[in-house]
Structure 1
């Protein structure tokens, strides 16, 4: 029963984070211009900024408590990421070529693949490859650390990673991570450690229902503060500014902790539907890779996000359409064994 609860929780968190990514990218279309559509973009963007951190926190829960040899670890992880990275990069490059973009010779194609994402959202697959290289060492730290050492690690990571945002907001003329060589604690890798810690805390909560509602309320609070701070900072700058959207900003860190607990707890409530959740969860990588293509095609055909329609309903409607079409496509592809390795 406990295992089913854990699996349903992880699956729900993964599905929720995947849908949040789509909402975020749909909302971002109209973010860069202050007009009557901007507030809706700011609202939905602020609400979904914790999507990537949740993905990383899930990885932390699943990976840091395991003990396995390096060959086994790397063979499993890289076999999961490299095929999708290569396939979807080539897919987008082929599509761009049909649209008139030229990449040159075979060497140029290989160089392009090696140098970075062909389409912006594939940055996550490149980043996760680098993160996996550090996981065996982070795992050793996690397994050997005492509760107080885990808290100290997270405190230093949060301070060092969030410092650029804090420095910009308060105009502090001090590069704290550089001055005190805190670079070891900076970066997205800390979200894996945070995920494992937040999950550990969740397991020891007696009144999980009350804890769930508290986290739901705090998540809404963090999202409202992110939205308000983004408006105030952007107004001061005279142009939309994404400073408070940064995945390593303290507000996004707080929101990520809360929504992780909410999604995991929701999975426990949805446990009777665990088979469906597991099937949907298996599609999330493919949905993530495909959704930008679907979004661009729907927007080209309908012009919904650039029309006079209210973004308050256009953004969630578009997100649902994109998610549904991407999901249906990936479910179809996964019926063929070949595509199981790239979706």
Structure 2
């Protein structure tokens, strides 16, 4: 982060590029910490606490992706058309189909099942073929709702009272009920009240409104640290009382993660990339989508030594093992994604 300084005219939304890269690395930390977290009954407490700590810090990553999309896509006038919704959906759906087939082939290779593209596509039509792809399906769903969300975003920006009401209800229904379940909410049929679209609207509102204008970056940093500490302590507490892994504190709508995500997003929006790094950061940001698709495959391939190097993870401390595998995976994924850009029109297929 030392290479990023404040500047008045970034020339483009360089902070958004930085946000994508930060969020992507956070996703890697989550997925690489997960096996250690899930094995908490069979490992030393110190190893669990390290994995729990890194996971707690990185939990904001997925909400960051959603809020960034909202900040960049919402607030537009839809009166003259639907804003290319179909083309936007296809930009996500085609790579989703491509990578779903690759993931099914990878699984079938190890299980001895036939490589069948129609069958793989049929599986993808039913739902995510790998657990991380849920986010892509959710994104397509929100894109379908964009023409509806656009006027809502404009209305929220025009009325602070409406914004307070909307986000208040959204927070109460989605976040508060995680720790304080209320059956009445289910009977009121509010349980899916603008679930993930709320994060999109929240990202738009944080960037476009003046509500947080006076909040200094150190204030956001303090809120992020306190909310992340709450995530860490709650997760530790819940798991110490449970015979099986408990991810309640890690849920993306838990109050602690939601508040930490808002603070992190506000902080990142203040990032200004030094001019010399504008183009490299913009390019790396442009290939984050295929990195997201491929990262689980790359993790497996690195562990198997398929890229010509091996990481002796067993001999490392938990922190070093997680970080070295995360950095290696990020570097390899970025390289592979960059190489795909050499092929004309490849972005339409791989993302």
| Cα distance, 1:91 vs structure 2 | 1.4
Q: Deviations over 1:278-333 (max 9, x none)?
A: 1111011011111111111112334755x252111111111110000100111111
Q: How does 1:207-286 map to 2 (within 5 A)?
A: 211-266=216-271, 268-286=272-290
| Cα distance, 1:15 vs structure 2 | 1.1
Q: Is the 8 A contact 1:30 1:38 kept in 2?
A: yes
Is 1:131 aligned to 2:131, yes or no?
Answer: no
Q: How does 1:166-181 map to 2 (within 5 A)?
A: 166-167=179-180, 174-181=182-189
> Which consecutive residues of structure 2, in runs of 5 or more, have no partner in the other structure?
1-6
Is 1:47 aligned to 2:47, yes or no?
Answer: no
1:288 to 289, 292, 295: 292
Is 1:194 aligned to 2:168, yes or no?
Answer: no
SS at match of 2:278: helix
Q: Deviations over 1:47-85 (max 9, x none)?
A: 100111111101111111122455533133113201210
| Cα distance, 1:109 vs structure 2 | 2.8
- Between 269-278 and 56-65, report the one with greater CA deviation: 269-278
Shift of the 151–126 alpha-carbon distance from structure 1 to 2, 3 Å rule, reads same
Distance 1:43 1:56 in 2: 23
Name the TM-score, length of structure 2 as normaliser: 0.88
Q: Is the 8 A contact 1:294 1:325 kept in 2?
A: yes
| Cα distance, 1:98 vs structure 2 | 2.3
Distance 1:79 1:49 in 2: 28
| Cα distance, 1:119 vs structure 2 | 1.4
- 2:303 equivalent in structure 1: 299
Shift of the 191–6 alpha-carbon distance from structure 1 to 2, 3 Å rule, reads farther
Q: Is the 8 A contact 2:30 2:54 kept in 1?
A: yes
Q: Is the 8 A contact 1:290 1:326 kept in 2?
A: yes
- 2:317 equivalent in structure 1: 310
Q: Is the 8 A contact 1:8 1:270 kept in 2?
A: no
Distance 2:210 2:104 in 1: 43
Distance 1:287 1:106 in 2: 22
Equivalent residue pairs, number:
333
SS at match of 2:195: coil
Q: Is the 8 A contact 2:21 2:288 kept in 1?
A: yes
Distance 2:89 2:253 in 1: 25
Distance 2:256 2:294 in 1: 29
More helix by share: 1
Distance 1:121 1:205 in 2: 34
Q: Is the 8 A contact 1:142 1:150 kept in 2?
A: no
RMSD: 2.3
Is 1:24 aligned to 2:30, yes or no?
Answer: yes
- 2:3 equivalent in structure 1: none
- 1:147 equivalent in structure 2: 160
Is 1:66 aligned to 2:76, yes or no?
Answer: yes
| Cα distance, 1:106 vs structure 2 | 5.7
